[in-house]
Structure 1
Amino acid sequence: MSEPKTPTPTPAGDTYKGWVFKWTNYIKGYQRRWFVLSNGLLSYYRTQAEMGHTCRGTINLATATITVDDACNFVISNGGAQTYHLKASCEVERQRWITALELAKAKAARMQAESDDSGDDFSPSSAPVVPGQGGGSQNSEVQSALRTLGSKVEDLSTCNDLISKHGSALQRSLSELDSLRLTGEAGDKIRQVTERATLFRITSNAMINACRDFLTLAQAHSKRWQKALQAEREQRVRLEETLEQLAKQHNHLERAFRGAAQANATADNKSAAGPGKGEASDEDDDNEFFDAMEEAPEFITVPADPQFHKSKFYTLNEEPLVMNQESPSQELVPLKKRRTRIPDKPNYSLNLWSIMKNCIGKELSKIPMPVNFNEPISMLQRLSEDLEYHELLDKAAKCQSSLEQMCYVAAFSVSSYSTTVYRTGKPFNPLLGETYELDRRRESGYRSLCEQVSHHPPAAAHHVISDRGWTLRQEITVASKFRGKYLSIMPLGTIHAIFEKGNNHYTWKKVTTTVHNIISGEIDVVNHTTGDRCHLKFAPYSYFSRDVARKVTGVVMDKDGKAHYVLSGTWDEKMEFSRVMQSSRGGENGTEGKQKTVYQTLKAREVWRRNPLPEGAETMYYFTALALTLNEPEDGVAPTDSRRRPDQRLMEDGRWDEANAEKQRLEEKQRIARREREREAASQRTSTVDEDSLTDPSLKSAPHDNYQALWFERCEDRITGEPVHIYKGGYWEAKERGSWDGCPDIF
């Protein structure tokens, strides 16, 4: 058994913990247990690992008695119901525990007495919550500071009493020794100790007097300061309520004024002809627009992000200017109604062994798989599904703190796996040059473009730009293998998220997935601007594990390694984050002998929750509401768009036999185009080099395929140093012109 470590009090003020030996029975004797003293309660556990789930016993010190047996032993009892016979490893450690227990007992007794007191004095915990502030971060900080100061004053008062008591007892013991009138060396030692004790007593008395004066002043002014702070809070609340009332009255007056102006304009139009009538019609449209705005009270009280709300809400002074700049018909056109169903998945029988026996151990991208294993969307559309929870990036773009922003980015990196919970089909492998656009600018503020930029290995480049202050880009190479019993998908590549505010640049990589929804691995989300980092761990799960299924945990740290937030949850349900107030290294783990970091956190806040699946999802490949709209036909998209892919469309319609035939035709067409490019590349090399240079090994290793992506260009990423494809622009401009001359014929 290793030597017990001295308990280490944490700076939180109310917590003391460490290893102590506890009497169990006459057979086992004293056993080492992990004791935690916190908030007036003494609890113990067999190991530190049990702190999260199994407490072995607790004593409330407010009503407990503490007695000392000998140099190392002490007893804690609450009147017979519970009694702990404890033994420290040494006398110094026992005295530390006794001091900590006495302080905690005095504080617990005071708190119990104050809770029974029905006086009207203000307490920080009873401070009102300011409306519209969600509890108020400033309010919480002030309350926390008041509680901390009050706790420290109470500790000082208790220490004052303890010093007085123990100092008097020491002086009495020394006086008794002095009265023995010993001679020789013992007498000299006693006189020397007595002189030093006298000096210590004089100094202690001076400190005790200073502490008494400080306590008197602090107690006299504390309630006055607290009441003044409460009055300031109440006044601020009244001012906010008054401001809201004035804003509403102003809104009503503005509406009444416009109504009167409309009536006057109508009367004038009856007596006049020509252009005046058209002007009155425009005024009517404005009035209807303002009436619709009136129904959104949050427009007055909630601070708005100008980039977010410019397309939806306007202040009364700004609106006419915006309406003059943009077409009213464009603003008032209703959003496109997206589909909520696709044809049900047909029940097709298939001789699996005839296919599987030739597939085991091979890359799926090189096997002509029938559509029976697919779902009717392409890998490009599956990549676009990462935007299911784009609201997380919208919220991240508004964060003032880069560390809090990291929490939303980390939650977004987890959310992309939630769409795979019930999905067992594989998406279509995109053809080289295939594209997919997802234009949700009017609904959600973003535009997304994917392009298949390589066929072997299959790689897709993805670029998203949002009007709400963020950009997302990634290049994913999917290495998928059929293992006989399950399908393993290993995404390779880096995801980048860049925010305009603060110019924060985040990167992370995806983890391995199987069709059995076993997602395991670790993700490091890094802010290359500030050095902040979030380490996410996807815990592997088995039926024999007691842990939560699909669990994800993470810690957000700054560049110095200090933890600020803790994230926890599951990748298929929700994620929460908590503010770290303090972290400390725990003692030895009872099973592995390792140390674990203990984080003291505030109450957890939910940052993300999975959207429920649409009704009837089990017959529609378990698609989410967004996935149901991805393959919906849309006018104006590029001729290479996945929506125009015929085999995928036939499969969605339930015509799988025709889809299989069409899939083979498209793949053969792609192979013919690849061979043609290889011939062109070979002829170009032959025409540019002589026979002697053909012996150059660098020329012999040159790629045989000279394919270049249309909307992305290959370069080296300045952050990661990886060769990547970056969006070079031009797609959305080509769509506006309706000019797709450069697009290859792949379908």
Structure 2
Amino acid sequence: MVSEGNGDMKVVLTKPLSLDGDAHADYKAPNFAQRFLSLFRNVRPGSDLTNFQLTPQFNIPKSQLQCFGESAYSFGKNLLQQCNNAESSLERFISVVAWSISTTRPPHFGVAPYNPILGETHHVSRGSLNVLLEQVSHHPPVSALHATDDKENIEFIWCQHPVPKFYGTRVEAEVLGKRQLKLLNHGETYMMNSPKLMVRFFPPRVDWIGDVNICCQESGLEAELCYATSSLFGRGGLHSVKGKIYQSSSMKTLYEVEGHWNSTVKAKDINSGKETIIYDAKEVFSELKIAVVEDLQGIRPTESAAVWNEVSKAILSKNWTKAREEKSTVEDNQRKLAKERNSKGETWVPNNFTVSYSKEDGWDCSPIQERVPPAPIVVPI
């Protein structure tokens, strides 16, 4: 964890989510497990937890917007470059499947990031990849992401709308929203969705579950992946991914996919029987670096790290009283701004995205700018 800045302004930036399982252990309050389970004592099964508020003892010192962004810009091996450089459409599609798996980040039991405030932004660059996020809705929570890589001529646009629900012994968060990756040199667009996040209380466990579909209309290729976890009786496997890659028109299976998103995933060629490791989590999550501030003056007041700066500093110092006060200050200010808009009959409009919603298609976010500019916060290469 580091604190960047000078003068009166400082910006707290922390370690990315990793595979080590204890990246955020130091942030937990005393009697952690007991306090965590007590949160759900009065919550009824089937309840929507969208507006559920955690106290700072259960927060990691970063916003959900930052965690969302890390899945795009925080990596060891550059799988995006691999997607672009593959020669055939089938090789590119397999690489996109691997990249999609790499965006499945390892959450940790009992802790969660801050809920982003309306209009919060997160702007980070890694080499030629520039990533910009904005919280485009607060009720319900919707985050938009736009990333462009001028060197590789790649663009991706994501819209994320999590819907968490309580089921007695577990919480499941369905992650709605469209995701698209464009390999502009090849004229290919890949559409995909996200798995669900599951938090099970007994035994304590966090995993990704559910079905993911990836399709490319230009190449006529499609993939179906099923994320699964073991049952209470040990059947199945933790963190498992299983599925297939096939031709959309004929439904002919070309590859079978199987493995674990936190270790390795293999693809088996149906014709030859040859198996190839297409994804290695250790390569993707190796030597993840903390972002640094290169241009303090360029940081927007809406930047996640600036919005939650005082809360994060208090959590890192384990000053829980101060953390609660600072968090309440951020949230109270948002309620005040919302009240002022309502009294004036004003509707808040995102600065970086055009947002639409329909019952049939859900939320959709389109970036206003064609390319994302370089950011004041940079991930060292």
Deviations 1:414-467 (A, max 9, x none): 2222423x45411110010111112112xxx21111100001000000011112
Shift of 1:487: 3.1
Q: Offset of 1:498 from its aligned partner?
A: 0.6
Task: Report the equivalent of 1:708.
Answer: 349
Q: What letter matches 1:408 in structure 2?
A: S
**Matched AA of 2:365:** H
| Contact kept in structure 2, 1:452 and 1:460, CA below 8 Å | yes
Could you say if the C-alpha distance between residues 498 and 735 of structure 1 is closer, same or farther in structure 2, counting changes exceeding 3 Å?
closer
Cα pair 2:119 2:136 within 8 Å, conserved: yes
> Residue 136 of structure 1 aligns with which residue?
none
Aligned length: 341
Alpha-carbon spacing, 1:392–1:428, altered in 2? closer, same or farther (3 Å)? same
Q: Indicate how the Cα distance of structure 1 residues 713 and 370 shifts in structure 2: closer, same or farther if over 3 A, else same.
A: same
Which 10-residue stretch deviates more, 472-481 or 543-552?
Answer: 543-552
Matched, 1:637 2:321: no
CA deviations 1:58-98 (Å, max 9, x no partner) are: xxxxxxxxxxxxxxxxxxxxxxxxxxxxxxxxxxxxxxxxx
Residue 724 (1) aligns with residue 364 (2): yes
Counting only pairs closer than 5 Å after superposition, residues 23-422 of structure 1 correspond to structure 2 as 344-345=26-27, 347-349=29-31, 352=35, 355-361=39-45, 362-387=47-72, 388-389=74-75, 391-420=78-107, 422=108
Distance 1:577 1:613, change over 3 A: closer
Alpha-carbon distance, 1:343 to partner: 9.7
Are 2:79 and 1:438 equivalent residues in the alignment? no
Partner of 1:476: 160
Residue 191 of structure 2 is aligned to residue 530 of structure 1: no
Q: Secondary structure at the match of 2:290?
A: helix
Task: Decide whether aligned partners of structure 1 residues 610 and 709 sit closer, same or farther in structure 2, where only a CA change above 3 A counts.
Answer: same
> Which runs of structure 2 are paired with 1:480-629 in the superposition (5 Å)?
480-515=164-199, 516-542=205-231, 544-545=233-234, 547-559=236-248, 560-581=250-271, 600-602=272-274, 604-611=275-282, 626=288, 629=290
> In percent, how many aligned pairs have the same letter?
22
Choose the corresponding residue for 2:324, options 660, 674, 690.
660
Mapped contact 2:29–2:57 kept (Cα < 8 A):
no
User: Deviations for 1:128-147, whole angstroms, at most 9, x for unmatched residues?
Assistant: xxxxxxxxxxxxxxxxxxxx
Q: Deviations over 1:278-330 (max 9, x none)?
A: xxxxxxxxxxxxxxxxxxxxxxxxxxxxxxxxxxxxxxxxxxxxxxxxxxxxx
Structure 1 outlier segments of 4+, above 6 Å: 338-343, 631-634
Query: Is it true that 1:427 corresponds to 2:98 in the alignment?
Result: no
1:55 aligned residue: none
The one-letter code of the counterpart of 1:607 is: I
Letter in 2 for 1:478: P
CA positional deviation for 1:710? 0.9
CA contact (8 A) 1:469 1:501 kept: yes
Deviations 1:666-724 (A, max 9, x none): 1111111112112222xxxxxxxxxxxxxxxxxxxxxxx6110011112589xx96542
Residue 517 of structure 1: how far off its partner (Å): 2.2
Is the Cα contact below 8 Å between 1:526 and 1:533 reproduced in 2? yes
Which residue matches 2:9?
none
Aligned in 2, Cα 1:648/1:558: closer, same or farther, shift over 3 Å? same
Q: 1:488 to 1:539 in 2, by over 3 A?
A: closer
Asked if the contact 1:633–1:643 (Cα under 8 Å) also holds between the matched residues in 2, the reply is no
How big is the shift at 1:652?
Answer: 3.1
Asked if 1 retains the 8 angstrom alpha-carbon contact of 2:148 and 2:154, the reply is yes
Contact 2:174 2:197 in 1 (8 A): yes
Report whether the alignment pairs 1:452 with 2:166.
no
Check the 8 A contact 2:61/2:113 in 1, yes or no: yes
Q: Is the 8 A contact 1:428 1:648 kept in 2?
A: no
More RCO (CA 8 Å, sep 6+): 2
Query: For the Cα contact (< 8 Å) 1:450–1:462, is it kept in 2?
Result: yes
Cα distance change on mapping 1:514 and 1:625 into 2, 3 Å: farther
Given that 2:156 and 2:180 are in contact with CA atoms closer than 8 Å, whether structure 1 keeps it comes out as yes
State the 1:344 CA deviation. Answer: 3.4
The aligned amino acid for 2:368 is: K
Q: Distance in 2 between matches of 1:489 and 1:462?
A: 19
Amino acid at match of 1:629: I
The 8 Å contact of residues 459 and 475 in structure 1, kept in 2 or not, is answered as yes
Larger Rg: 1
Of the three residues 309, 314, 319, the one matched with 1:650 is: 314
CA distance in structure 2 between the partners assigned to 1:633 and 1:483 by the alignment: 45
Whole-angstrom distance in 1 between the partners of 2:198 and 2:104: 11
RMSD: 3.2
Q: What corresponds to 1:462 in structure 2?
A: 145
The 1:508/1:642 distance shift into structure 2, 3 A limit, reads: same
- Mapped partners of 1:459, 1:571: distance in 2: 25
Change (3 A) 1:501 1:347: same
Counterpart amino acid of residue 374 in structure 1 = N
Separation in 2, partners of 1:497, 1:366: 30
Larger strand fraction of residues: 2
Looking at structure 2, the residues matched to 541 and 721 of structure 1 have their Cα atoms a distance apart, in angstroms, of 32
Which runs of no fewer than 5 residues in structure 1 stay unpaired? 1-337, 582-599, 615-623, 682-704, 737-747
The structure-2 alpha-carbon separation of the partners of 1:732 and 1:563, relative to structure 1 and needing over 3 Å to count, comes to closer
Counterpart secondary structure, 1:601: coil
**TM-score normalised according to structure 1 size:** 0.42
TM-score by length of 2: 0.79
Cα distance between partner residues in 2 of 1:386 and 1:609: 15
CA distance in 1, matches of 2:211, 2:14: 36
How far did residue 495 of structure 1 move? 1.0
Amino acid at match of 1:713: T
**Equivalent position SS for 1:664:** helix
Q: Which sits farther off after the overlay, 632-641 or 393-402?
A: 632-641
The answer to whether the 8 A contact 1:377-1:630 is kept is: no
Q: Would you say the 8 A contact 1:569–1:576 is kept in 2?
A: yes
CA distance in 2, matches of 1:632, 1:488: 35
Residues in 2 aligned to 1:483 and 1:372: alpha-carbon distance in whole angstroms: 23
Secondary structure at 2:256 match in 1: strand
CA distance 1:357–1:551, shift in 2 (3 Å): closer
What whole-Å deviation, never above 9, does each CA across 1:608-630 have from its counterpart, x for those lacking one?
2113899xxxxxxxxx854x625
Aligned CA distance change for structure 1 residues 435 and 605 (closer, same or farther; 3 Å) = same
